[in-house]
Amino acid sequence: MVENPCVRIKNIAYSKDNVCRKYIQTTTDNYRIETSYVDYKNKYIICFSTQVGCSLRCKFCYNGIQCNFKRNLTSEEICNQIENVIREESPKKDKPILFSAMGIGEPLLNYENLIKAFCILDKKYPNNKFALATTGVNMQNILKLATDLKNINNFKLTISLHSADKEKRNWLMPISSDLISLVETVKQYKAISGREVEWNYVLFNNVNDSIEDARKLFELLGKDELIKINKFNSVEISQLSESKNKDIFISTLESLGMQVEYYETNGADINGACGQMVSD
């Protein structure tokens, strides 16, 4: 048991297929954060929050649209929200846990607390996996990951791209990085760390899903990078919608020789999927 926890479970939502649970949790200063748990095929996934709200104003994410950033979570709060879920779920040791910093907030804007939490979790729960998704807003911290997490054996970095067109990406993600600099930084990270990187691309109808968009993506990344195409999870207050051009977009990339994977996030029916979790 965690004595005097700084984060407490307030409620739990269950997906219809019972694969995903969304934990609504509260901090001692009464802020709401959310954490999702997925009993996936080959792993358990705990997708946790790193901030109370978010400042990045992405047009496809509830917290970005609300621009509702309040503060960073401490390393203790990050670990506490995760341990609350582990205690409630009691995952078996038949498959690893993926500790995924892909919930509410931009992880690299709470860098020190996140790295400390990762190291604590790695020591307490050995032989598991870690992941982090970033917009690339702080490229210096991308390079720091290569050394600061060198002792964590199983770590995956994901870059949220969503467009290879500068103007479109800046519209979708108003606080975003220069694309050429971002690609170069990722190359440096790979060279230093010896680890691969995944690029994440959410498709939005008639925004970033044309054949021209696919070709620009190939021109930016080339055929050696892995691009994961993600279905847009509906967010009620967003003006964006799910792409109707997925198949032609993906087939265009594949015809150019790119490595493409398509996936849909679990928990959309309980607003527990990517972009749907709420903080207030």
Q: Which of 173, 168, 185, 170 is nearest to 55 (CA)?
A: 173
Which of 47, 61, 79, 274 is an active site residue?
274
Helical (H) or strand (E) element with 111 = helix 111-124
Query: How far is it, in rounded angstroms, from Cα 58 to Cα 62?
Result: 8
- Whether 227 and 214 have beta carbons less than 8 Å apart is answered as no
Which of 34, 77, 83, 225 is an active site residue?
34
Please give the C-alpha separations between residue 206 and each of 75, 174, 188, in angstroms, as whole numbers.
40, 19, 33
Helical (H) or strand (E) element with 112 = helix 111-124
54 is catalytic: no
Helical (H) or strand (E) element with 130 = strand 129-134
Query: How far is it, in rounded angstroms, from Cα 192 to Cα 12?
Result: 41
225 is catalytic: no
Beta bridge partners of 160: 200
Q: Which residues have a catalytic role annotated?
A: 34, 274
